[in-house]
Every structure is written in structure tokens, then in C-alpha cells.
């Protein structure tokens, strides 16, 4: 099973009703902990960096962003179980998936083969179609958020980004995010909707099959430029996916298929894919594809930042246990879309109405084991065809068994929520999350009221807001002038973003004075004298609240060095790949629980060493710190 790291000083030991038992990792927006609910079930809890103290409206908008997402069942999705904004820092509880993320697996073991990527494509498209059908969006679909459980891929972090956007904490596509999997419209901040998830789906599949972000891994500015104008190389994709991935990467969002449309094409009766996939996955995918015929409840494209789609007024502000219609028990034969038989809020029956997966599959099927049971994540834990193996899943001996055992029974799809009713915008702010006291008489309509605040009450920010606030051009000349102005503003912004850090570096170097002039930049083929010795320091990620001591020992003239992470008790080898007298690029090979990656060490004018680690895949997940000679 996936290792959870020990808790660090300062980590919570409990959050609400959840006992915290370990650390699963740290992402851009918060730390993820392994926890246990009162029934003993393992859960993943994301404690966000965001602080909502004293902002009831922001709390409500944040909470509301999960309302629709909580109706998405755990089929191919790490279902949202709970979210809490009662305290200063909100947290989101989701199903724990026992397995590595796609990012981790590909970083450690390289690109995936055709059979795996096909199953990934369908499984994640099923999740996206279900998310969109529920009226939610993901907006941060990427390899780090695809969790590879024993029962197949599951999409995690559902609704977290829209929730953060709703309180303007992390507008989708902001420059600080890794842009690698963002759609063009997310970068421009205009018309962001479900189509952005489809673009990210395609980009993620390309990553799985190449082990490289599809638009490069150099500077964010260059990556964004390529996303806007270039087509990535698709030659590594299996034939079955190439055309559909190309369509999903259309720069024009209206030219992209919907998630349900992806499924329709992927699982076409005449195509080869369906025969190679687990029956339950095909059945679910086809049901979702057919359901596209009914009017989707998905939000209209919005400008970022923007609160997530308002939940239907009938949606109860209660935990998923109270959504039996959204999580009905499995039907023997799949129907396109089964209408719910019970009204929302009907109490669950004797069976576990939480999710058909949990109702029909014993915990053992998910590989859930006690935390202290030592087990490694290996590729064999993930029941997909082997790397680079073009053997179709269904051709492998026993694969069908695996599919039918591991994949959960197919749930009938929930009815799409009704469109929101007109609301009184002056109603008080609701609290819709367990643990948050709701004002008396509060109902879902007041939520809609919060979400539907007009621009004058809740001004739109970002480029979209700027565009809206500008006067409309009355003629062609005005239009040209407006475009030029915006172009110049965007240009100035980009120049500022690129040149400011450079200017700061130059400025710092000048301040250091001639005595501390930087060392030369001549290329070297081994570790230069200036790095020799043992260096110690602490690597930190300021935004993520994680830090750990690092110790590195270099010997001049050699091509390897030793890196020690004492707290995690890991010792690894840094291997020189290229460098100059001032800066070295090295590959880090290190056993778990530490992670392999690339390390850059740079001599600083003040005599220290800057140490920066990141994953091989070129994601922004990384740590850095200053090391001094021991």
C-alpha cells in the first residue's frame, strides 16, 4: 500500500471527527493527510493553506463549490465525502485511494504502454463525464490528480480548484500554477468551463505515454506560448486515441468534444477499445455517453475567478449519506440513465447507500490494509497492462476476472439537477457543510443568492473583469484601439513577470559588491572545486508549509555526490548531468519514502549553495533551500 509519511511537528492529530494518522504528501494548495473516520474507514484529508477567518461570504462560496461535486459517485473518482470550513483553515475529505498518482508512477517508472493509456483514457473520461453531469468542473485535471488504485484510475481533487477560485484564492490558470495541463482559455481567464477539463484530459494522456508534459517543461511563459499556438507531438499515442486526443486539444474550446462525447467515441460499438476494457467500465461509460442526450446541468463557461456553478435548489446541505438517489444500489442491468426513485434527502435504506462501490465491493477489493502493514507500491499493484506492452487488457490471462472483481458494479446515473430557481439576493449567507452552523431558515436558495451576486456586489477580477469593465467600442476604430491597449497591458505584464526576477537577481548580485562577484559560468564535465565539501541546510516550500533538513557531500573531480535527508532516513546519489563552475544539474536517485528527481545546485555570491529539487517530469512540485558548509 502507499506509504504515509510520519506526521511532522505542527501537523494536526485530528480534524473534526477524523483522526489523522499520517502524511500522504503536500501539494500546491495544502497538505494531504491520511485519516480515519469514526467507522474506521481510511480517508484522505486535504488541509488547505487558504484561510477563511472572518469571511462568511467566502466560506459559503467555498462550501457551495462542493455541493454538486459531492453527488459524483466513487466510480473512477475519489469521491468527496465531506468538506469543512468551520475552522480557520478549510479541509476537504475524500475517499482514500491506495496507490500512487500517475505523476508518481510515471516519474518513477517511465511512460505507460498503449493498453494502460487506453484504460486511463476511458476511466478518467468516465470520471469527467460524471463530474460535468453533476454540474461541477474539475479545473485542475493533471497527472498528480490521477490516483492509480487497485481497482483502476480515480480522479482526485475534484472541485478543489473551483472552490479556491470561488474565494479568489487560486484563480484557475493563474501564473503561479503549473500551466502544463491548462487549456488556452484558462490561461486567458475567459470562458473557462468543462471544455478546459477535456483539454487537460488530453494533455494528461500525452504525459502518460511520453513521460513529458506535452507542451514542454521549460519556463511557464514558453509553455503557455506553446499551449496557445502549438500542437504537441502525438506520435506516441496508440492509434485508438490519437484522433480523439487531437480533437480534445483544439485551441478553440467550442471545437472540443464534451466528456460524454469522448466516451461516445472511445466506446463506439465498431471501435476496438470496448472489447479490451473491463465490462463495468464500458457499461458506465456508455451510459454516461447516452446521458449526454439529456440536457446537461453543467455551468455555462465563466470568467475566472468565478464561483462554481450554483447547486440546484433542491440539493440538500447534508452529507452524501443523505443522497441515496445520487448513489443508488447497483442495478442488475445497466440502463442509459436511471431516474432516481427517491426524493433528495430520503434517508438511506439498510444497505450502504453512500456509494455503490462501497455497497457492492468489500474493502479488501480496494487493497485497504492497516496502516502499519508494510507494503510497497509496485506496478503489479495496479492492475493495468505492463509498461510499453501493447497487450490489450482483455487479452491477458485472467484480465477479465480482474476487471469484474476489481471494478465496482455500475450505478445508475443520477438525474441531472434542476436549474437553479431565481433567488432573493439579499438572503443571508448559508453554511452548507457539515460542521458549519446554518442560519435559521437557511436553504439552498440562499446559497444561490450568494453565488449569483451581481458584478456590482461581487466585482469580477482578472483580465475578464477588466475587459468587462471597459466601455464597448462603438466602431471598428475603437475596437482596434481597445485590442491594442489590452495587447500592450498583457505585454507589460509578461515583461514584468519575466524581467522582474531577473532584475532582482542582478540587483542582489550588484549589492553583494565586487568582493562577492559571481563565479564564472564556464562549462564543466565533473564537480568543480568550488562545490567540494559537505553542505547542510533546510529545504522548504514556502507555500506548502513543508520543510526538511538536507545534507549534501561533493568531491571535486567526481561525477556523483551524496544527498542525505536525515529526517526521512534516506540517502541518495546525485549524478552529474551538466553544469558550469557556478551551477550543477544532477539526477537524484533515492529510495522511498524520498522521491527521485532532478536537483540543481548553484553557488551563491554570499558563499552559500542554493539547492533545488523537483520531479523529473518538470512539474512545479519542488523544494529548495540554502545550504552552508558544514
Ligand X SMILES: Nc1ncnc2c1ncn2[C@@H]1O[C@H](COP(=O)(O)OP(=O)(O)OP(=O)(O)O)[C@@H](O)[C@H]1O
Residues assigned a catalytic role: 140
- Rounded CA-CA distance 191/184 in Å is 10
Q: Which residue is nearest to ligand X (CB)?
A: 27
Binding mask of the shown chain, residues 78 to 117, with x at each position contacting ligand X by CB under 6 A? x---------------xxxx---x----------------
Nearest distance from C-beta of residue 145 to ligand X, angstroms: 5
Please list the alpha-helical segments (H only) found in 513-555. none
Told to check if 29 binds ligand X by CB under 6 A, we report yes
CA distances from 156 to 81, 323, 436, 457, 597 (A): 12, 20, 24, 33, 23
Q: Which is nearer to ligand X, 149 or 297 (CB)?
A: 149
The answer for 269, left when phi > 0, alpha when psi is -120 to 50, beta otherwise, is alpha
Name, in order, each residue with C-beta under 8 angstroms of 326's C-beta and a sequence gap of 6 or more. Answer: 71, 73, 320, 340, 344, 414
Piece of 22-30, 217-225, 257-265, 495-503 that binds ligand X (CB under 6 A): 22-30
- Rounded CA-CA distance 102/107 in Å is 8
Q: Which is nearer to ligand X, 26 or 302 (CB)?
A: 26
Nearest distance from C-beta of residue 73 to ligand X, angstroms: 15
Q: Which is nearer to ligand X, 365 or 560 (CB)?
A: 365
DSSP state of 13: S
Piece of 23-31, 51-59, 484-492, 499-507 that binds ligand X (CB under 6 A): 23-31
Q: How many CB atoms lie within 10 A of CB 619?
A: 21
Piece of 26-34, 227-235, 282-290, 371-379 that binds ligand X (CB under 6 A): 26-34
CA distances from 617 to 117, 246, 547, 575, 598 (A): 17, 22, 21, 17, 9
| Residues in 155-174 that interact with ligand X by CB under 6 A | 156-157
How wide is the angle at C-alpha 589 spanned by C-alphas 588 and 594, nearest 5°?
90
Q: How many CB atoms lie within 10 A of CB 295?
A: 8
Q: Which is nearer to ligand X, 312 or 618 (CB)?
A: 618
Q: Which is nearer to ligand X, 101 or 280 (CB)?
A: 101
Q: How many CB atoms lie within 10 A of CB 88?
A: 10
| Residues in 244-273 that interact with ligand X by CB under 6 A | none
| Residues in 117-146 that interact with ligand X by CB under 6 A | 140, 144-145
Number of residues forming the site for ligand X (CB under 6 A): 20
Pick from 44, 83, 281, 292: which binds ligand X (CB under 6 A)?
44
Piece of 21-29, 111-119, 480-488, 562-570 that binds ligand X (CB under 6 A): 21-29
Pick from 5, 15, 20, 32: which binds ligand X (CB under 6 A)?
32
Nearest distance from C-beta of residue 27 to ligand X, angstroms: 2
Nearest distance from C-beta of residue 95 to ligand X, angstroms: 6
Nearest distance from C-beta of residue 170 to ligand X, angstroms: 9
In 3D, which of 242, 256, 288, 322 has the Cα closest to residue 82? 322
Q: How many CB atoms lie within 10 A of CB 320?
A: 21
Q: Which is nearer to ligand X, 46 or 445 (CB)?
A: 46
Inter-residue contact 555 to 576 (CB < 8 Å): no
Strand partners, 579: 584
CA–centroid distance for 472 within its chain: 37
Annotated binding-site residue? 46: yes
In 3D, which of 7, 2, 37 has the Cα closest to residue 21? 7
Piece of 6-14, 25-33, 62-70, 343-351 that binds ligand X (CB under 6 A): 25-33
- Rounded CA-CA distance 154/337 in Å is 22
> What is the dihedral angle through the alpha carbons of 620, 107, 595, 170, rounded to the nearest 10 degrees?
30
Q: Which is nearer to ligand X, 201 or 576 (CB)?
A: 201
Inter-residue contact 247 to 86 (CB < 8 Å): no
Told to check if 28 binds ligand X by CB under 6 A, we report yes
Q: Which is nearer to ligand X, 32 or 259 (CB)?
A: 32
Nearest distance from C-beta of residue 252 to ligand X, angstroms: 27
Nearest distance from C-beta of residue 111 to ligand X, angstroms: 19
Nearest distance from C-beta of residue 466 to ligand X, angstroms: 26
How close are the terminal C-alpha atoms of the chain, in Å? 37
DSSP string, 147-190: EEETTEEEE-STTHHHHHHHTTSS-TT-TTS-GGG--HHHHHTS
**Which residues contact ligand X (rule: CB under 6 A)?**
24-25, 27-29, 32, 44, 78, 94-97, 101, 140, 144-145, 147, 156-157, 621
Annotated binding site for ATP: 46
Which residues contribute to the annotated binding site?
46
Amino acid at each position: 500500500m502507499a506509504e504515509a509519511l510520519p506526521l511532522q511537528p505542527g501537523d494536526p492529530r485530528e480534524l473534526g471527527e477524523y483522526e489523522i494518522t499520517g502524511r500522504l504528501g503536500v501539494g500546491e494548495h495544502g497538505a494531504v493527510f491520511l485519516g480515519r473516520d469514526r467507522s474506521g474507514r481510511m480517508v484522505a484529508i486535504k488541509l488547505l493553506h487558504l484561510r477563511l477567518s472572518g469571511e462568511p461570504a467566502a466560506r459559503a462560496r467555498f462550501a457551495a463549490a462542493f455541493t454538486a461535486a459531492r453527488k459524483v459517485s466513487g466510480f473512477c473518482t475519489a469521491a468527496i465525502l465531506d468538506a469543512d470550513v468551520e475552522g480557520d483553515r478549510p479541509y476537504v475529505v475524500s475517499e482514500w485511494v491506495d496507490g500512487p498518482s500517475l505523476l508518481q508512477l510515471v516519474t518513477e517508472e517511465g511512460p505507460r504502454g498503449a493498453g494502460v493509456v487506453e484504460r486511463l483514457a476511458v476511466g478518467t473520461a468516465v470520471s469527467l463525464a460524471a463530474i460535468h453531469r453533476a454540474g461541477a468542473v474539475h479545473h485542475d485535471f493533471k497527472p498528480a490528480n490521477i490516483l492509480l488504485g487497485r481497482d483502476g484510475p480515480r480522479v482526485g481533487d475534484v472541485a478543489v480548484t473551483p472552490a479556491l477560485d470561488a474565494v479568489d484564492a487560486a484563480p484557475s490558470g493563474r501564473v503561479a500554477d503549473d500551466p502544463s495541463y491548462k487549456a488556452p482559455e484558462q490561461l486567458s481567464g475567459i470562458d473557462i468551463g468543462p471544455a478546459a477539463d477535456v483539454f487537460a484530459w488530453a494533455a494528461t494522456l500525452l504525459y502518460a505515454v511520453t513521460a513529458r508534459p506535452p507542451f514542454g517543461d521549460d519556463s511557464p511563459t514558453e509553455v503557455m506560448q506553446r499551449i496557445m499556438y502549438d500542437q504537441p507531438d502525438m506520435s506516441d499515442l496508440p492509434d485508438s486515441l490519437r484522433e480523439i486526443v487531437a480533437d480534445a486539444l483544439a485551441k478553440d474550446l467550442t471545437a472540443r468534444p464534451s466528456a460524454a462525447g469522448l466516451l461516445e467515441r472511445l466506446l463506439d460499438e465498431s471501435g476496438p477499445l470496448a472489447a479490451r476494457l473491463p465490462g463495468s467500465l464500458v457499461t458506465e461509460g456508455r451510459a454516461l455517453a447516452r446521458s449526454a442526450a439529456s440536457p446537461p446541468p453543467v455551468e455555462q463557461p465563466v470568467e475566472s475567478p468565478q464561483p462554481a456553478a450554483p447547486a440546484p435548489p433542491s440539493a440538500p446541505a447534508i452529507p452524501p449519506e443523505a443522497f441515496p438517489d445520487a448513489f443508488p444500489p447497483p442495478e442488475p442491468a445497466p440502463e442509459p440513465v436511471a431516474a432516481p426513485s427517491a426524493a433528495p434527502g430520503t434517508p438511506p435504506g439498510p444497505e450502504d447507500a453512500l456509494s455503490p462501490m462501497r455497497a457492492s465491493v468489500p474493502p479488501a477489493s480496494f487493497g485497504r490494509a492497516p496502516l502499519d502493514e508494510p507494503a510497497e507500491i509496485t506496478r503489479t499493484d495496479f492492475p493495468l497492462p505492463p509498461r510499453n506492452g501493447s497487450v490489450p487488457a482483455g487479452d491477458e490471462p485472467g484480465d477479465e476476472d480482474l476487471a469484474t472483481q476489481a471494478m465496482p458494479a455500475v450505478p445508475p446515473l443520477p438525474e441531472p439537477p434542476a436549474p437553479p430557481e431565481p433567488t432573493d439576493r439579499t438572503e443571508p449567507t448559508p453554511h452548507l457543510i457539515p460542521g458549519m452552523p446554518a442560519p435559521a431558515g437557511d436553504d439552498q436558495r440562499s446559497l444561490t443568492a450568494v453565488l449569483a451576486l451581481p458584478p456590482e456586489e461581487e466585482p469580477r477580477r482578472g483580465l475578464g473583469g477588466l475587459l468587462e469593465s471597459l466601455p464597448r467600442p462603438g466602431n471598428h476604430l475603437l475596437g482596434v484601439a481597445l485590442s491594442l491597449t489590452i495587447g500592450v497591458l498583457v505585454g507589460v505584464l509578461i515583461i514584468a513577470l519575466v524581467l522582474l526576477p531577473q532584475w532582482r537577481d542582478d540587483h542582489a548580485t550588484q549589492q553583494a559588491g565586487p568582493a562577492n562577484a559571481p563565479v564564472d559560468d564556464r562549462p564543466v564535465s565533473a564537480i568543480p572545486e568550488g562545490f567540494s565539501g559537505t553542505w547542510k541546510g533546510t529545504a522548504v516550500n514556502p507555500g506548502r508549509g513543508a520543510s526538511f533538513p538536507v545534507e549534501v557531500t561533493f568531491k571535486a573531480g567526481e561525477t556523483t555526490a551524496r544527498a542525505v535527508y536525515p529526517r526521512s532516513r534516506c540517502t541518495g546519489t546525485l549524478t552529474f548531468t551538466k553544469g558550469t563552475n557556478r551551477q550543477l544539474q544532477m539526477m537524484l536517485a533515492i529510495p522511498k519514502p524520498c522521491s527521485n528527481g532532478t536537483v540543481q545546485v548553484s553557488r551563491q555570491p554570499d558563499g552559500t549553495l542554493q539547492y533545488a529539487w523537483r520531479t523529473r517530469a518538470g512539474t512545479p512540485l519542488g523544494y529548495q533551500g540554502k545550504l552552508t558548509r558544514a
